[in-house]
Amino acid sequence: MIEPTTAEPQLCRVSVIGGDTQVDVALPAAVPIANFIPEVVALIASRDPHAAEDDGDAALRAGHWTLARLGQEPIEPHRSLTEADVFDGELLVLREAETVEAPALFDDVIDAVARLTESSFRGWHSGTATLAGPAAAVAGSVGVAILLPLADTQGWGVVAGAAGLLVGLLTLLAATLTLRMYADRYTATGLALCGLVISGAGAAVLVPGAFGAPQLVLGCAVVLLLTVVMMRLLDTGTTGFAAVITTAIFGTAVAGTLTMWPIGLPQAGVIALMFALLTITFTPRIAVAASRLPVPPVPTAGGVIDPRDHEQRPTIEGIGAIGATTIPSAAGLDERARRANEYQSGMLIGLVLVTVLGALATAASNEHRWQGAVLAAATGLVLCRRGRSFADRTQAATLVVGGCAVLIGTAVLLGAHWSGTALPAAGLLVVFSVVAVLVGVVAPRVTVSPVMQRAGEVLEYACICAIGPLAFWFLDIYTLARNV
């Protein structure tokens, strides 16, 4: 049950200093300061012991006033205490607000519009071009990777593969030189991604035969090897490289499975989906290990909480006792924490991409139709619910967007493959849109009861428990066990 938030005003209990007077007051936390500052000024003026009776608050009433923390800039009068991150127990000072300048007057309307555009809107500048250029280059490289296999079918096999591999390696060399000579990390990362995509496609085309799983094995393996090398050389773009490594590992495994065993693409998609979901759970530990971030051990039952408390301490008196005790250093800890977060973001991007592709391949199966559709829908719900487990906005958004892509793609495939299901599938998408608006717009503004929170958790656990049996059913594991 969703209960609306209470309408009672929230109060912030602070201490305000004005002149020689200090008062403890409870001020409205969500009301702009300009609305209640006159009463605060009058209260301080009435408590000032050094003010004359006739003009006791004349000095305080003159000018515009606001509040400020000790030694900091005044808080804007239009902001509330909550917006300024002022909490109970803080000490504030009554400060004079800066005078508001009168807006400039223009005789020429065109000049006024130009000044307004310059001050209010963001224009295209060199930084924007620096971001757009490598992004467009990566998109062009993806197009090259798509066209190289088509060139193989048109008789350009070895030439297309060799040209793609050569261009990719030269691009990787250019990325390294860009970082070494110009220290442009973003451009170097973009060039490296371009080189990895083209090199992988060129290596895949070099494999004889029609383009298929064997070609993908070599292409993904080359991308994996080159990504590890470039990650060590550039020491930047950790998120992008981690995403490429994760995708290449799963691509190599799936393509290798399709090459060695006679299974279909939907079955391989189910296997990749299960392993990707399982790996998402261990992503934080993998990121911590990859970044070498020191994490204190978690004590087990019966174990000591802190082993250092049970170690033999030096028995040196005076200052020597402090010098003989080893104190851990926090140097570089922030860098390792940032690197661990980048590793985790990249791995989640790759894992979500693999999960989305596997779920859509499962939903497109012609043999186990309803099992594949239910399995894909459960996967999408799990991804959306798992997004709340990550504090980083990029990581949470990746999981939520991936889950929404699975749910929308499953509904579209359901309406396209099954006869007479286009209209029900469209209705499901309408329901999905309504739920998305309720969750994204309404839910953050209300207080969700513990019963509703528990219901959401039960739904998530039910979807997680259903994925395994449905996947085994999809892979005909039950039939195989019955026939043994």
Judge contact between 345 and 361, C-beta under 8 A: no
Three-state DSSP at 95 gives strand
- For residue 365, being part of any structural domain is answered with yes
**What is the model's pLDDT at position 288?**
92
Domain that holds residue 84: 11-51+61-96
Contact at 8 Å (CB) between 157 and 184?
Answer: no
For 292, 322, 328, the CA distances from 331, given in Å and listed in that order, are 13, 20, 9
2 lies in some domain: no
If asked whether residues 85 and 187 sit together in one domain, one would say no
Which of 377, 396, 422 is the C-terminal boundary of a domain?
Answer: 422
CA atoms within 13 A on the CB side of 151: 20
Say if residue 87 is in the same domain as residue 141.
Answer: no
144 CB neighbour count, 10 Å cutoff: 18
- What confidence score (pLDDT) does residue 46 get? 81
Q: List Cβ<8 Å contacts ≥24 apart for 255-260.
A: 255/213, 255/214, 255/216, 255/217, 255/220, 256/213, 256/217, 258/212, 258/213, 259/213, 259/214, 259/217
Rounded CA-CA distance 238/188 in Å is 12
Residues 201 and 162: beta-carbon distance below 8 Å: no
User: 271 near 251, Cβ under 8 Å?
Assistant: no
Check whether residue 197 and residue 345 sit in a common domain: yes
Q: Do 89 and 148 fall within a single domain? A: no
Q: Which helix (H) or strand (E) holds 12?
A: strand 11-18
Longest CA pairwise span in the chain (Å): 103
Give the pLDDT confidence score for residue 221 in this predicted structure.
96
User: Is residue 233 domain-shared with residue 342, that is, in the same domain?
Assistant: yes
Distance CA 248, CA 228 (A): 11
Does the residue 287 lie in any domain?
Answer: yes
**C-alpha span between 140 and 194 (Å, rounded):** 8
Taking the CA atoms of 336, 341, 346 and 350 in sequence, report the sign of the dihedral they define.
Answer: positive
Same-domain check for residues 372 and 230:
yes
In a domain, residue 309? The reply is no
For residue 32, the domain's CATH number is 3.10.20.90
One domain for residues 230 and 367: yes
Same domain? For 164 and 69 the reply is: no
The number of C-alpha atoms within 13 Å of 283 and in the hemisphere containing its C-beta is: 27
- Tokens standing for 38? 């006159």
Among 406, 422, 438, residue at a domain's last position: 422
Cα gap 355→403, rounded to integer Å: 9
d(CA 230, CA 246): 15
Residue 79 lies in a domain: yes
In total, how many domains does the chain have? 2
Domain boundary among 384, 400, 422: 422
User: pLDDT 10s digit of each residue in the chain, 484 long?
Assistant: 444 444 456 888 898 888 778 888 888 888 888 888 888 888 888 877 665 554 444 444 545 788 888 878 888 888 888 888 888 888 898 877 654 555 666 666 677 677 766 666 677 878 888 889 999 999 999 999 999 999 989 988 899 999 999 999 999 999 999 999 998 999 999 999 999 999 999 999 999 988 899 999 999 999 999 999 999 999 899 999 999 999 999 999 999 999 999 889 999 999 999 999 999 999 999 999 998 887 766 666 555 555 555 555 555 554 444 444 454 455 577 888 899 999 999 999 999 999 999 999 999 988 888 889 999 999 999 999 999 889 899 999 999 999 999 999 999 999 988 888 899 999 999 999 999 999 989 888 888 888 988 998 999 999 999 999 999 999 888 888 888 7
Sign of CA dihedral 46, 48, 53, 54: negative
Are residue 135 and residue 238 in the same domain, yes or no? yes
**189 and 79 co-located in one domain:** no
- Domain membership flag for residue 90: yes
**What residue type is assigned to position 236 of the chain?**
T
For residues 414 and 268, state if they share a domain. Answer: yes
CA distance 379 to 358: 10
How many other CB atoms are found less than 10 A from the CB of residue 203? 24
Could you tell me if 41 and 175 lie in one domain?
Answer: no
Residue 443 lies inside a defined structural domain of this protein? no
> Is residue 473 domain-resident?
no
Contacts for 40-43: CB closer than 8 Å, 24+ residues apart: 40/16, 40/65, 40/67, 40/94, 41/65, 41/94
